[in-house]
Amino acid sequence: MREMVESSKRSARDHAIVTLLVATGARRSEVGLMNFGDLAEFVDSGCVRISRSKTQSRIAMIDQAAERAVRKWLREVRRRRPSISPSDLAWLVANGPQLVGRAVGRHSGDELSPHAIRRWFVTTVARRGMSSASIGRQLGWSAGTTNIMIGIYTKATASDLLTDEYRRLMR
């Protein structure tokens, strides 16, 4: 992931896309279909809006690296198009999901897919102790399916997840 993020720094747009995927675990289509307002209206709060989702729209937290990358892209967009509207597409192309896939492939040497980044995100934040409820909210999963999805994504069983949670809480 680090190599991919580092490689993407050559392009403000690619860097914003890649860091958003890594920071949010969002789907390719969710990042690809973002509009300018999804980024600009929430970045000051350390988050972005995922308004077009196959499950549910939501606000997703982002880390400082993604925040910096998004701010840089927003400055570049405003310089290119001073009259940009919040409803305009964030990446300035009609085929945003395909652009996201190409950006990931270009900077990962075609070794990763956007969905592989989503699986990495779930595994990483689960290991670091993020609660399953928070993971579910970040990824747009319903409360009823969150633990099942975490198990699928991390290839863990429910008892593994319970054991890890118990150990974390009883430290």
Q: In the numeric block, which tokens belong to residue 8?
A: 């993407």
Please identify, among 113, 141, 161, the residue that sits at the C-terminal boundary of a domain: 113
126 & 68 share domain: no
pTM of the model as a whole: 0.86
**One pLDDT digit (tens) per residue for the chain, 171 residues:** 999 999 999 999 999 999 999 999 999 999 999 999 999 999 999 999 999 988 889 999 999 999 999 999 999 999 999 999 999 999 999 999 999 999 999 999 999 999 999 999 998 998 888 998 899 999 988 888 887 888 777 876 556 666 766 776 777
Please choose, from the candidates 7, 17, 8, the residue with its C-alpha nearest in 3D space to the C-alpha of residue 100: 17
Q: Residue 29's domain spans which residues? A: 2-113
Looking at the structure, do residues 89 and 159 belong to the same domain, yes or no?
Answer: no
Task: Check whether residue 134 and residue 91 sit in a common domain.
Answer: no
The residue among 113, 133, 151 that closes a domain is: 113
In this structure, what token pair is assigned to residue 78? Answer: 């405003």
Same domain, 125 and 74: no
Domain count, the chain: 2
